[in-house]
Amino acid sequence: MALEDSKTQVDLALTREGLKGLAHENAFGGIPSFLRRRYTKDLTGVDVAITGVPFDQAVTNRSGTRLGPRAIREASSLQPFDPPYGWDGYSPLEELAIVDYGDLAFDYAQTGSFPELLQAHIERILAADVAAISLGGDHSITLPILRAHAAKHGPLALIQVDAHTDTWPEFDPKTRIDHGTFCYTAVKEGLIDVARSVHVGIRTVVEDNLGIEIIDARQVHERGPSAIAERVRTVVGEAPVYLSFDIDGLDPAFAPGTGTPVWGGLSSGQAAIFLRDLAGINLVGGDVVEVSPPFDTGGITAVAAAHVAMELLCLWGWPRR
Ligand SMILES: [Mn+2]
């Protein structure tokens, strides 16, 4: 990095002239927009909008994911100096117009209206022909986001990396929000094509997975992440894909900062290989959820989540390069 860069490139979240380009700003200073993208509600000429959903009122166990988007943004400031490793030089920050669209604003005490607010928030992005990558927030946020995406793209292939399938029956989807039932309701509402959907990294028991293929964590360990990615590419085929990455898909050793940790999960290295080897899928949107900074140690969970989000940008851009 040139010395003059560190002097002139300050607060790129506000001062960036174009929407593309790497960022050579001190990682420890300034306004940490996601990957130092412009922080704006202007979607003109934008390819992908990053948005935060600081919501944690639907967790079964430990809360704290309302603090996730900020932590992921700060962790992301370690990355935008170079193209991401392992993508043959492909550089989404240089090739794609990406903005930080900020967080969804909502009344924390009115959880009843929250799902519709979130759905409308995502629909505004999609209506501008911009893709949305969301930073959670607990996993209940994926349901309204899926509703917005399915309204645009039709039923989606879902790739869900998670310790949990989140297909536990939801007895009252009109009034309840629950981070363990979003996938159940998504299936019942026809938002996802179960024949083209897959759960990866699972290590909790579920009686009926509604026809969605489970590739549990043991299979990832035994067969290897690259072989699993090959299987997942076969399952999703050419369908429009939504990828939801629950950070508890990683082992608690790699992602302690989460509300419902389960041992035996993926390493961050396995996740990196898995995501890279999905290249070529028709990704239309995605999220990384369940980062709970109060339980994080050394910020490592947020670092992992920021890398996952970068990989989602790579996956979105790769077929369009
Ligand atoms: Mn989970």
Residue 6 domain flag: no
3 state DSSP class of 134: strand
DSSP 280-306: TSEEEEEEEE---GGG-STTHHHHHHH
Q: Pull the structure tokens for residue 279.
A: 């290249």
How many angstroms separate the CA atoms of 58 and 78, rounded? Answer: 30
How many angstroms separate the CA atoms of 56 and 292, rounded? Answer: 9
Confidence band, pLDDT 50/70/90 cuts, at residue 5: low
**d(CA 166, ligand 1 centre) in Å:** 7
Residue 4 domain flag: no
> Above 50 in pLDDT, residue 1?
no
**d(CA 6, ligand 1 centre) in Å:** 40
Residue 55 domain flag: yes
Range of the domain at 281: 12-320
> Above 90 in pLDDT, residue 198?
yes
Q: What is the average pLDDT across 125-130?
A: 98
The predicted structure's pLDDT at residue 83:
96
**d(CA 162, ligand 1 centre) in Å:** 5
Q: What share of the chain is helix, strand, coil (3-state, %, to 5)?
A: 40, 15, 45
**d(CA 281, ligand 1 centre) in Å:** 23
Residue 175 domain flag: yes
The predicted structure's pLDDT at residue 168:
95
Residue 3 domain flag: no
**d(CA 105, ligand 1 centre) in Å:** 24
Residue 250 domain flag: yes
Q: Pull the structure tokens for residue 267.
A: 């390493």
Q: What is the dihedral of CA 156, 233, 124, 11, to 10 degrees?
A: 160
CATH number at residue 76: 3.40.800.10
The predicted structure's pLDDT at residue 87:
98
**d(CA 150, ligand 1 centre) in Å:** 22
- Split into its structural domains, the chain has a count of 1
Give every CB contact of residue 25 below 8 A, 6+ residues apart in sequence: 6, 9, 10, 11, 12, 36, 77
The predicted structure's pLDDT at residue 135:
98
The predicted structure's pLDDT at residue 13:
95
Residue 268 domain flag: yes
Q: What is the average pLDDT across 183-199?
A: 98
Handedness of CA 234, 189, 52, 161 (dihedral sign): negative
**d(CA 39, ligand 1 centre) in Å:** 29
Q: Pull the structure tokens for residue 42.
A: 């202007």
The predicted structure's pLDDT at residue 8:
66
3 state DSSP class of 265: coil
Tens of pLDDT, residues 43-82: 999 999 999 999 999 999 999 999 999 999 999 999 999 9
The predicted structure's pLDDT at residue 174:
87
Whether 276 contacts 86, CB under 8 Å: yes
Mean pLDDT of the residues in the chain? 96
Confidence band, pLDDT 50/70/90 cuts, at residue 6: low
Residue 95 domain flag: yes
**d(CA 209, ligand 1 centre) in Å:** 15
